Amino acid sequence: MRFTALFSILFILAFGIVAAGCTGSTSQPQITTPVPTAIPTEDTAITPIPTAIPTVPILPGSTQAMPSATAVSVSVEKGGTYATTIIATFNGGKGMNLVSKIDVSVTHPDTSVVSGTLEKPVKGATLELDGTNGTDRVRVVVTMMSGDVYTVVDQPMGYKVHG
């Protein structure tokens, strides 16, 4: 009988432990995700602002007339029918001995610039600069020994097409 009583007590005790483990709650905090609330907004579309790319980056500006007593001449041309080279030639003039330098710049359609200088030029001096097969802007600035500066050429120079 002792054996049966001991067995019954152990059985009840084991049943109680198992029952307590199954019914016990291990409370974990519940995480709730808030539901986003739609906020009414005005429907605004982003409109891109078109930017035009000019064929000649900067339109030619005005030139200054030199005083007749100190006037000089500079000519510019493309090198030939299929050439892109731009040639600037100092033709001289009444003030040719008073010229300190001649700056020539060529602005390509992609806005890149090449430039060169003729220091104390003599009649017939030339400067060759790379152009493109598009329309380039050629600008010639003459600086006199007195410090006076004159833009004598500012023009578009197109590519010559044979035909």
Say yes or no to pLDDT of 156 above 70: yes
Q: How far apart are CA 162 and CA 90, in angstroms?
A: 27
Q: How far apart are CA 53 and CA 30, in angstroms?
A: 60
Segment 105-123 shows an average pLDDT of: 95
Residue 126 DSSP code: E
What is the bridge-based pairing of β-strands 113-119 and 99-107?
antiparallel
Neighbours of 150 (CB within 10 A): 19
Domain ranges of the chain: 68-157
Q: How far apart are CA 4 and CA 18, in angstroms?
A: 21
CATH top-level class for 68-157?
A: mainly beta
User: pLDDT tens for residues 50-97?
Assistant: 544 444 446 677 888 999 999 999 999 988 777 889 999 999 999 999
User: pLDDT tens for residues 6-54?
Assistant: 667 766 767 666 666 655 555 556 666 666 666 665 655 555 555 444 4
